[in-house]
């Protein structure tokens, strides 16, 4: 009988670690995080503190300016509207007395009462937010002596009514535009009053004498 050949030994596969295939993930997670260099690191400590304090102060002051600006924007717009209202009512009160035709007097009277009512409402909003009482001098800031001169001349030339009606149409139009602009930047509390004033002013402008 021929000698028996030894049975070849088949290598037994060694078990691998369950995390071996994911070693690259573990290793990547263990890598130290990169930190951005501190630009102040090389400066003396007292200088670092001074610069940091300055940055904080600038941030605080900037925030205060932004907040304070938003608080003051509404009253400033309201004041401009109040001054426009004051001038329209002043001139309209003159026309109530000096106009020739009753129809012109009626338009002047309607404009006077309507704008005066709007002024009371808006002034309450203004003084409520700014806590300031408005003097007559402040309200009369847009008083135009040229308007008085033109009306005086018109009265002498017997065309007072036409000159006044032209004035009223132009100034109600400007006032209407100012109301629209103010409404866009107004607070939620102020918007309803401005919208109501805008609608009332629109009705005034539909008068036959102002077309």
Q: Quick one: CA dihedral 18, 20, 21, 25, positive or negative?
A: positive
Mean pLDDT of the chain: 80
Task: Note the pLDDT tens digit of each residue in 179-203.
Answer: 999 999 888 888 999 999 999 999 9
Helical axes 191-205 vs 102-130, angle rounded to 10°: 170
User: Is 96 in contact with 153 (CB distance < 8 Å)?
Assistant: no
Top CATH class, 73-210: mainly alpha
**Contact (Cβ atoms closer than 8 angstroms) between residue 135 and residue 109:** no
pLDDT at residue 130, as a whole number: 57
- pLDDT grade for 135, boundaries at 50, 70 and 90: confident
Query: What tens digit of pLDDT does each residue of 55-68 get?
Result: 777 786 565 545 44
CA distances from 46 to 49, 139, 162, 193 (A): 5, 54, 76, 56
> What is the total residue count of the chain?
211
pTM of this prediction? 0.64
DSSP one-letter code for 1:
-
Res. 125 pLDDT band, cuts 50 70 90: confident
Q: Is the model's pLDDT at 3 over the cut of 90? A: no
Q: Look at residue 174 and give its three-state secondary structure.
A: helix
Compute the average pLDDT of residues 20-40.
Answer: 54
Rounded-to-integer distance, Cα 172 and Cα 198, Å: 10
> Which pLDDT score is estimated for 30?
52
pLDDT at 187: 87
Instruction: Identify the pLDDT of residue 47.
Output: 66
């Amino acid at each position: 009988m021929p000698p028996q050949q030894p049975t070849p030994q088949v290598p037994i596969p060694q078990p691998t670690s369950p995390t071996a295939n994911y070693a690259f993930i573990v290793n990547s997670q263990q890598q130290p995080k990169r930190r951005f260099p501190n630009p102040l690191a090389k400066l003396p400590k007292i200088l670092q503190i001074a610069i940091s304090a300055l940055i904080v102060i600038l941030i605080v002051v900037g925030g205060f300016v932004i907040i304070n600006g938003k608080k003051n924007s509404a009253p400033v717009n309201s004041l401009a509207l109040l001054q426009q209202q004051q001038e329209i009512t002043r001139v309209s009160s003159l026309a109530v007395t000096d106009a020739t035709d009753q129809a012109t007097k009626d338009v002047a009277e309607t404009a006077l009462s309507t704008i005066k009512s709007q002024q009371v409402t808006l002034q309450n909003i203004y003084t409520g937010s700014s806590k300031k009482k408005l003097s007559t001098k402040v309200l009369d800031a847009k008083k135009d002596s040229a308007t008085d001169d033109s009306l005086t001349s018109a009265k002498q030339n017997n065309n007072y009514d036409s000159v006044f009606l032209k004035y009223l149409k132009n100034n109600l139009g400007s006032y209407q535009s100012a109301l629209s602009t103010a409404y866009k930047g107004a607070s939620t509390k102020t918007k309803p009053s401005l919208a109501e004033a805008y609608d009332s002013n629109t009705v005034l402008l539909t008068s036959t004498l102002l077309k």
